[in-house]
Each structure stands twice: as structure tokens, then as C-alpha cells.
Amino acid sequence: MVKKVTENVYLIEHEEAANNVIIIGKKGVVLVDTSLFPEKAKSIAKFVREFTMKNITLVFNTHYHPDHTFGNVVFDVPILAHELTRRKMEQFDSSYFRSLGIEYTEPKLPDVLFEDQFEYEDGLKILFVHGPGHTPDSSYVYIPSESVLITGDTVINDIHPEIVSDSNLNVWMKTLDTMPHAKHVIPGHGDFGSYESIEKMRDYIEKIRKLMNGELNPYELESDPNFINRKHAEMLEWGIKNLMTE
């Protein structure tokens, strides 16, 4: 489903799969994240050409997870990401693909790398910023003129976030605290919202942190709207197990 966020920014939402975002510049289009499947990435490229009459000229990966990067193989354009994203993707092998239940394909690695921040301009200024926590390489996109923030999986709406083995709750909180106060916030999964999405995510991560530190009773989450109103409660259990095995 395609949803208009602003005149130049559109969300391609795939139910609960990773979101894709297109940013329409003066000469071309920036695509944020490429999905898990190359066939889906091809359909996105076709849609962009037909909808905007422009080609995708830059791809950005918010982090290394396959549902955000495996569609890279479709695009013969520069792929931008944090330097750690490339390093993580270099570790992908056939056994990793098998663990995901998909056929091995040579991954296409990012070839334009940054450390802290990268600025791109095509009729509007786009900032790509390292914002770790969900993963060490996680990054987000900020478009000041549109007041749009594209967060990757640092912010998740409607469903429980994925807390993985290399998530760091303390660092995650710092990133949420320093994100720009944008009018429109597009999460890695779920519908777009306002700055309230960041506030809800901050509340969620803070309570998980308190739970892990023994400062919060698990039963308190059973009546918390920020937890019970999210889909896929099994993700919460899985995430806590990941934190306990660190």
C-alpha cells in the first residue's frame, strides 16, 4: 500500500514487513530500504518509474537486516549505508540464508559508506545519520524541509519491535532522545505517525530496560496500552530472551 506522507515522500507499506520509503528529488528518487525479496524490489523500481517518471538514483540501507537489504541486488545505483552495515553484510553466507529459509544469492553490499553523517542534495537536503541501538549500524534519514524522519527499526509502530542479540537498550534510548523533532515519523515497520511514535518507542524501551534491571514487575506490562495494543506478543518474549543471553 502506497501512502503519501508529504509532496515528496511516500511510504510503501507491506502489512507487517519492512517499510520502503521513496524520496522524490529534482532529478531522481532515493529509495530507503529494499525489502527481503528481489522480486518485490523489482516491483518497487517499476512503480517508482511509473509513478514519478524518474529513476531511483540512490538506495539507502538503514541497517544490515535482510528484510531491509536483500533487494539491493536489483539496483545498479550507488548504495549508501553506515560502514558497519557493509561489514555485517560481508559476513552473510549460505548457512545464514538457509537459516532464513531462502535460497542463497550473492548479496549486493553498500558501496558508499559513512561514519557519523552523510548529506545528499537533489532539490532538497537529505541527511543520513548513524543512530545505533537497535543494531550497532542502525541509521536514520532526516529531511528538514519536509519535517520527515525515516527511522528504520529504531522506531516500530503497531507491533512489538525486534530486539536482537546485538541490540543495546542504553544506546537505543540515547538515539531516540537525540532524534530530530519531526512532524512526520516513518518507522521501520507499521504505519507512519507523528513525533508521538518516538515518544511511545522511548517509553517501550525504557520499560524493557527497567524490566531487565528488576525495577519493573512483568505483570505491569499486561495492562500497559503501549504493550498490549501491539501485535505479535511473541516478539516481546523473543526479545527478552535475546537480552538475557547477552
**Phi and psi dihedrals of 124, rounded to 5?**
-145, 150
Question: CATH number, domain at 155?
Answer: 3.60.15.10
For 214, counting Cβ atoms within 10 Å of its Cβ (0-12 exposed, 13-18 middle, 19+ buried), the class is: exposed
Q: With 80 as the cut, is the pLDDT of residue 68 above it?
A: yes
pLDDT at 246: 61
Averaged pLDDT, 178-192: 97
Number of compact structural domains in the chain: 1
Strands 56-60 and 112-114: unpaired
CB count in 10 Å sphere of residue 135 = 26
Q: What is the pLDDT of residue 139?
A: 98
Buried b (16+ CB within 10 A) or exposed e, 70-79: bbbebbebeb
d(CA 26, CA 33): 20
Query: Phi-psi bin for 224: left (phi > 0), alpha (psi -120 to 50), beta?
Result: beta
pLDDT-based confidence at residue 167 (cuts at 50, 70, 90): very high
The arithmetic mean of pLDDT across residues 157-183, rounded, is 97
Give 141-176 as a DSSP string: EEEGGGTEEE-GGGSB-SB-----TT--HHHHHHHH
What mean pLDDT comes out for the span 81-88?
98
- pLDDT for the residue numbered 245: 80
Q: What is the pLDDT of residue 54?
A: 97
11-62 per-position pLDDT tens digit: 998 777 899 999 999 999 999 999 998 999 999 999 999 999 999 999 999 9
Domain that holds residue 101: 2-244
- The CB-side HSE value for 84 (13 A sphere, CA atoms) comes to 16
* pLDDT at residue 133, rounded to an integer: 98
Cα Rg, the chain, nearest whole Å = 17
- 79-82: strand order across its sheet: 2-6, 9-12, 20-24, 29-32, 56-60, 79-82, 112-114
Closest CA to 22 of 43, 1, 44: 44
